Amino acid sequence: MSNTIYLEYNFKVDPVQPASDILTAELGNVLFESFVETEDGIQAYIRKEDWHPGILDDIHILKNPLFTITYELKEIEQENWNATWESNFKPILVSDKCVVRAPFHDKPQVDYDIVIEPKMSFGTGHHETTHMMLQFILDHDFKGKSVLDMGCGTGVLAILASMKGATQIDAIDIDNWCYLNALENVERNHCEQIRVQEGTAELLVDQKYDIVIANINRNILLEDLPSYVNCLNKGGIVFLSGFYEQDITVITEKCVGLGLKFEKNLKKNNWVAVKYVF
């Protein structure tokens, strides 16, 4: 396998939270692929071929006077991404019932043991949005349900849905790397009920689901919610995340316009996850 050239941005952020989370989300929207938390900010990586000189122009938080953000940039050659990731990834415990861990961690004594090798995909449970979605899934009955996990990343949410008894699950991601990584993780966790696909809401043609899960971002959700609701069975449930507290009104207005009813939301730092009923 040939090495890949990456640009490593070492951001120093003051105050560290919530600015690091906001910065991570914004960089994720412009092709940055991986993030490592540091004591005073984050390191963010982008493939050299995806980079252009104005890449940071659309990162709004850099212009926000409430935060001081500086960065250093260096070019690195990456042979084994896992080495970086393995040295940073600690097991995550969710609601005392579920652990998300790597294959090299010890097996925990919990109801749901999810083994993930994220490489460069989003979805280890470290991020607030993943954590809250896992909490929602843990609290909900998935037995015998059909489920759509849109923007599946590592596949972590689909995997928990499967472990909780969902019988038919479609996990979809637009990103080829996530698609391949979700396939690996689904196999690693023996979740034969999950079908992983590469694509977007355009793949949703005649399927119907009891539950739709989507942890993506505000703009994609606003655009694709009609397609998600279109494939939802009456009485179905939608769990959404990937947006900030200030966006809950616009997302809920869109959902209500499509016939969904707000039921509950969770908050962590500046992030939210919301449950709607059809």
Ligand X SMILES: C[S@@+](CC[C@H](N)C(=O)[O-])C[C@H]1O[C@@H](n2cnc3c(N)ncnc32)[C@H](O)[C@@H]1O
Q: Residues forming the annotated binding site?
A: 130, 151, 173, 215
Q: Which of 137, 216, 225, 255 is in the footprint of ligand X by CB under 6 A?
A: 216
Going by C-alpha positions, the residue among 159, 148, 145, 256 that lies closest to residue 204 is: 148
Give just the sign of the alpha carbon dihedral 62, 175, 48, 45: positive
In this chain, which stretch among 52-60, 88-96, 152-160, 225-233 interacts with ligand X, using CB under 6 A? 152-160
Q: Which of 130, 135, 181, 189 is in the footprint of ligand X by CB under 6 A?
A: 130
Q: Which is nearer to ligand X, 38 or 200 (CB)?
A: 200
Q: Which is nearer to ligand X, 12 or 247 (CB)?
A: 247
Q: Write the CB contacts of 53 (distance below 8 Å, at least 6 apart in sequence).
A: none
The two tokens of residue 150 are 């849109």
Minimum separation from the CB atom of position 65 to ligand X (A): 27
Instruction: Give the annotated binding-site residues for S-adenosyl-L-methionine.
Output: 130, 151, 173, 215
Q: Which of 61, 69, 156, 161 is in the footprint of ligand X by CB under 6 A?
A: 156
What are the angstrom distances between the C-alpha of 100 and each of 5, 33, 96, 103, 178?
30, 20, 11, 10, 17
What are the angstrom distances between the C-alpha of 104 and each of 96, 171, 212?
21, 25, 31
Instruction: Check: CB of residue 209 under 8 Å from CB of residue 231.
Output: yes
10-49 CB burial, b ≥16 within 10 A, e <16: bbebeebebbbbbbbbbbbebebbbbeeeeebbbbbbeee
Q: Which of 33, 215, 239, 266 is in the footprint of ligand X by CB under 6 A?
A: 215
Told to check if 174 binds ligand X by CB under 6 A, we report yes
| Total residues at interface with ligand X (CB under 6 A) | 22
Told to check if 173 binds ligand X by CB under 6 A, we report yes
Told to check if 240 binds ligand X by CB under 6 A, we report no
Which residues of the shown chain bind ligand X in the complex (CB under 6 A)? 121-123, 129-130, 133, 150-153, 156-157, 172-175, 178, 200, 215-216, 220, 242
